[in-house]
Amino acid sequence: MDYLEGLNPEQKGAVLQTKGPVMIIAGAGSGKTRVITYRVAHLIKQGVDSFNILVLTFTNKAAREMRDRITQVVGPEAKNLWMGTFHSVFAKLLRVEAAKIGYPSNFTIYDTDDSKSVLRAILKEMNLDDKLYNANFVYNRISAAKNNLVGPAEYSSNEQIQADDFSQGRGHLGKVYETYAARCYRAGAMDFDDLLYKTNELLKDHPETLYKYQNKFKYLMVDEYQDTNFSQYLIVKKLAAINENICVVGDDAQSIYAFRGANIQNILNFEKDYPDLKIFKLEQNYRSTQNIVNVANSIIANNKEQLKKNVFSQKESGDKIKVMRAFSDNEEGKMVAEGIWADQTGRGLKWNDFAILYRTNAQSRSMEEALRKLNIPYKIYGGLSFYQRKEIKDLIAYFRLTFNPNDEEALKRVINYPRRGIGDTTVDRIILSADQNGITPFEVVINPSRYLDGRSSTAVGNFGTMIQSFQVITKTLSAYDAALHIAQHSGLLKDLYEDKSVEGLNRYENIQELLNGIKEFSEREDIEEKGLDVFMQDVALLTNDDNDKNKDADTVSLMTIHSSKGLEFKQVNVVGLEENLFPSQMSLNSRSDLEEERRLFYVAVTRAESKLTISYATSRFKFGTLISCEPSRFLDEIDAQYLELDFTAKPAPTANPFFDDDRKAWSRNTDSFSKPKPAAVKTTSILAKAHVPSEGFAPSDTSKLQVGMEVEHERFGYGKVQVLEGYKPDVKATIFFKEIGQKQLLLKFAKLRIVED
């Protein structure tokens, strides 16, 4: 029981409570990974068969880390756990049960690019307007349908969905969905969403299979439960129905993936599904200083939908949170870069102790330029991953086609790469012949004389023979030897080697790196199945955290806040805290959207261990035009006692209302290396508003607002209504305010007081 030492009382209680439904509400930095791993280890120590434990995560990194820790406690038994991401675990289950839903066990897993390629071909065949039927839009629409368990037939027969599509001029979406599903089925392929959709289908239509896995998985644990969608929720609920030994771990305050289908109600309403639920709250933050935790608490307290908890830290108070105001986005970048430089040298830190977090990828430009000017090494996360590079996808397509010759996308990708005299016209004829004869394109390829004519028949036949030879050798060679054979005999390796350009050399080296990765995979001792087909599945199911091949490089990390979830850094800069940027303009239509933006800000703040800096600009270029920016409402929600305001940037013109009138409180010296440390400004609001609301200010009923009326806004001051447009409840008012000029506001959110005569 040594593993229980060092746990605080709440952590220990969660580990020891192994029976019945359990919810662990884990605040940021509260040691949830330790609790999950020790809870699994404790189950095994208490005699539970490791084969009967299912642990679901959202990243492979989390699963690996947990398995390693469990191994340290229980030894090799940890290998027997069903542990991994939702997609990897249920892909493994579907490999066993695929025949029951009409799929081969060697089905291909399409990534997003593959799916969109199939959709583009379908949209072209149906001659649909690409402005209305953009492949990205259609893919997202189908993905959302699958995550809500709406299949092609249900989609086409649902009157509400059809009415919505027709109103947007997209009445053919149902047919596109049906064709896409049929095309994937013919190719023996599932996309990412299918791995969950088809699992639900399997468990619903085959009760004997459901019963089998309900009895197999006697204990379930789900990490990051707040990020589950409806499809994931239903799978977990079905599997836990008999034993109800289910433990979910999560933090509603970090639910930030609604755009992917995550439903925060899954964790908020968990107790309704299991009335005898036992709840443990992990409230001690071991990561951040007290000031950072206090700021995070003051932010999230503004959300109405939440599970109440009192997160605290027993670490030192630490630096106050610095809030920097810049005149422009470029100046913001300069201030951030100079601050990082000063702290890196002055505090003896490494570059990889720093992170810059932003709401949108476009914000990285000004940060990159500023970092380059100071020769600060940096890396942007979320760019093109290793496995998305063309040369890597080309070789992997050969692997895919070898194991699943029905994979039409893989066939089209490599049939003429390297060039072998098979043009687009021939490929189109192959696809057409397959459709006309009710067979797969590969059957045409291996019988070219029956379906094709002309010189291309020989080239197509030779290609088919080559793929068949690959199918034979993969049955006898190791994963690495098979991969090397395919790379060499396909001509791909030779083609890249002969390209002596810098880009060609990089592509060749990338292929070598892929082969090295397969070699390492072949020599791993923690897995039993080491075939190339198993490696292929691992690659197809990689999550974003697995794609970076140089995680430990000493560079400043630049990334979106969404990408930062689960990470931590000694010092964090959160930039661009401006209205319509953060919170995003798209989030201002509903309370639920705004609360998700606030949770996103909470996630950003809680990535910091010892120092947090927040910044905003009062002007920013947008579509080539310099616009004035209003500081984010989120800044107003932070308790000012934890803040230090650094308003040392050059003041804007006096007409700009977002700067204090008391200019004496500022330093005009923008050289951060020589300026004295600014004294904390005493204020109850970070925005230092130019307008003080009238005594007893209260918003009026604006349903009778008319053009010409005078109004008061608690932040913008007094103004006159110029234009009213739109229909209830989305009426927009254009108002000219005396202090800041013209603004356009949605009345339902504007909080205006009508000034009576």
The residues annotated as belonging to the active site are 32-33, 223-224, 254, 607
User: Position of tokens 């990194």?
Assistant: 61
Contact 479, 530 (CB under 8 A): yes
Q: Is 188 labeled as ligand-binding?
A: no
Contact 449, 457 (CB under 8 A): yes
Q: Is 31 labeled as ligand-binding?
A: yes
The counts of H helices and E strands in the chain are 31, 22
- CA pair distance 134, 140, nearest whole angstrom: 10
Task: Provide CB contacts within 8 A for 635, sequence distance 6+.
Answer: 323, 577, 614, 616, 686, 687
Q: Is 734 labeled as ligand-binding?
A: no
Q: Is 703 labeled as ligand-binding?
A: no
3-state secondary structure 661-702: CCHHHCCCCCCCCCCCCCCCCCCCCCCCCCCCCCCCCCCCCH
Distance in angstroms between the alpha carbons of the first and the last residue of the chain: 76
- Of 752, 751, 749, 707, give the one whose Cα is nearest residue 725: 707
Q: Which residues pair with 83 in a beta bridge?
A: 55
- CA pair distance 567, 573, nearest whole angstrom: 14
- CA pair distance 362, 622, nearest whole angstrom: 10
Q: Is 253 labeled as ligand-binding?
A: no
Whats the size of the chain, residue-wise? Answer: 757
- CA pair distance 106, 189, nearest whole angstrom: 9
Q: Is 32 labeled as ligand-binding?
A: yes
155-164 LR contacts (CB < 8 Å, sep 24+): none
Of all helices (H) and strands (E), which one includes residue 614?
strand 608-617
Name the maximum alpha-carbon separation found in the chain.
91
Q: Is 33 labeled as ligand-binding?
A: yes
Q: Is 479 labeled as ligand-binding?
A: no
3-state SS of the chain: helix, strand, coil percent to 5? 50, 15, 35
Of all helices (H) and strands (E), which one includes residue 412?
helix 408-414
For residue 118, the Cα-to-chain-centroid distance in whole angstroms is: 23
- CA pair distance 464, 470, nearest whole angstrom: 10
- Omega into 377 within 30° of 0, i.e. cis? no
- CA pair distance 116, 134, nearest whole angstrom: 10
Q: Which two tokens stand for residue 20?
A: 């019945």
**β-strand pairing of 378-380 with 625-628:** unpaired
Q: Which residues are part of a known binding site?
A: 26-33
